């Protein structure tokens, strides 16, 4: 661009350059003000805090593992278990979990078989699925047996998923006592989980039952 023409200053072009400089400079200045406002706005956003990790209360519990029947379950410190032979022909095994003093009383015969249920927190009974029935059909047959018992009423059942295991929950009353039982099936075996009927709903021992149930899993 010729700023000088034959020894004279070309004021026309100088004026154009000055005007362009003002326009560009003004645009940059406006952008910087906008940019600074955005930075301030972002800095004023509330801090996004990471959610606190939910404590797994069962993380340090002991593990009961049964290789023969292919499952494991956790139980809390201060608890113990007892394995017993099935009471009827189609039962493989019964495992009861409770506080150590209750288990010791049962072992030493200080608590009769008719009374120990009142101190047991979790009872696992393994049944033979001789007809290789699907779980819903097997539970239906069990329901018929339960319904024949005296004072049983309001029998209900629903499908559940516990720790990725599909099962069926049954609940009913016997006299005035609520009964809750969970059933699972694998490899010709029915796994029954029942809780002590004397436990206060929502109480400490009731919570332990459901925590234990949540740790049940089949072995690969």
Q: Let me know whether 21 and 101 are in one domain.
A: no
Q: How confident is the model at residue 203 (pLDDT cuts 50, 70, 90)?
A: confident
Q: Let me know whether 93 and 8 are in one domain.
A: no
φ, ψ at 77 (rounded to 5°): -60, 140
Look at 156 and 101; give whichever has higher pLDDT.
156
Q: How confident is the model at residue 93 (pLDDT cuts 50, 70, 90)?
A: very high
How far, CA to CA in Å, does 180 sit from each of 3, 47, 90, 113, 159?
Answer: 98, 46, 21, 20, 13
Q: DSSP states of the chain as a string?
A: --SEETTEE-HHHHHHHHHHHHHHHHHHHHHHHHHHHHHHHHHTSPP-PPPPPPP-TTTT-EEEEETTTTEEEEE-TTEEEEEEE-SSTTEEEEEEEEEHHHHHHHHTTSS-TTTGGGT-SEEEEEEE-TT---HHHHHHHHHHHHHTSTTEEEEEEEEEEETTEEEEEEEEEETTEEEEEEEEEETTEEEEEEE-TTSPTTSHHHHHHHHHHHT-EE--
Confirm whether 50 is domain-assigned. no
**Radius of gyration, CA atoms only, the chain:** 37
How far apart CA 127 and CA 136 sit, in angstroms, is 15
How do residues 158-190 score in pLDDT, each as one tens digit? 999 998 999 999 999 888 788 899 999 999 999
Q: Which residue range forms the structural domain that includes residue 10?
A: 4-43
User: How long is the chain?
Assistant: 220
Confirm whether 199 is domain-assigned. yes
Confirm whether 169 is domain-assigned. yes
Given a contact cutoff of 8 angstroms between Cβ atoms, the answer to whether 168 and 139 are in contact is yes
pLDDT, position 127: 96
Look at 149 and 139; give whichever has higher pLDDT.
139
What is the residue whose two structure tokens read 């516990």?
162
pTM of the full structure: 0.71
Confirm whether 54 is domain-assigned. no
Confirm whether 49 is domain-assigned. no
Number of domains making up the chain: 2
Q: Let me know whether 17 and 105 are in one domain.
A: no
How far, CA to CA in Å, does 213 sit from each of 16, 145, 164?
Answer: 84, 24, 12
Q: How confident is the model at residue 112 (pLDDT cuts 50, 70, 90)?
A: low
How far, CA to CA in Å, does 183 sit from each of 38, 140, 180, 194, 218?
Answer: 59, 11, 10, 9, 13
Q: Let me know whether 79 and 184 are in one domain.
A: yes
What is the average pLDDT across 4-12? 52
133-137, 168-172, 176-180, 196-200: lowest mean pLDDT where? 196-200
Percent of the chain with pLDDT over 70: 67
Q: Let me know whether 14 and 106 are in one domain.
A: no
What is the average pLDDT across 49-59? 63
pLDDT, position 202: 65
pLDDT, position 206: 84
How far apart CA 96 and CA 82 sit, in angstroms, is 5
Q: Let me know whether 174 and 123 are in one domain.
A: yes
Q: Let me know whether 155 and 78 are in one domain.
A: yes
Percent of the chain with pLDDT over 90: 45
Q: How confident is the model at residue 51 (pLDDT cuts 50, 70, 90)?
A: very low
Q: Let me know whether 154 and 209 are in one domain.
A: yes
């Amino acid at each position: 661009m010729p700023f000088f023409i034959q020894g004279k200053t070309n004021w026309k072009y100088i004026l154009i350059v000055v005007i362009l400089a003002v326009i560009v400079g003004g645009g940059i200045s406006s952008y910087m003000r906008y940019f600074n406002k955005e930075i301030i706005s972002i800095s004023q956003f509330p801090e996004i805090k990471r959610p606190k990790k939910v404590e797994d209360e069962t993380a340090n519990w002991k593990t009961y593992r049964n290789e023969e029947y292919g499952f494991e379950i956790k139980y809390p410190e201060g608890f113990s278990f007892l394995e017993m032979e099935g009471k009827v022909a189609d039962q493989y095994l019964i495992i009861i979990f409770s506080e150590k003093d209750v288990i010791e009383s049962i072992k030493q015969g200080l608590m009769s078989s008719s009374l120990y249920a009142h101190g047991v927190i979790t009872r696992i009974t393994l049944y033979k699925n001789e007809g290789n029935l699907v779980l819903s059909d097997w539970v239906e047959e069990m329901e018929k047996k339960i319904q024949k018992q005296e004072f049983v009423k309001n029998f209900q059942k629903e499908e559940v998923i516990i720790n990725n295991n599909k099962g069926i929950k049954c609940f009913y009353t016997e006299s005035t006592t609520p009964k809750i039982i969970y059933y699972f099936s694998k490899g010709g075996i029915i796994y029954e989980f029942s809780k002590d009927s004397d436990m206060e709903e929502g109480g400490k021992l009731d919570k332990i039952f459901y925590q234990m149930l949540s740790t049940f899993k089949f072995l690969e």
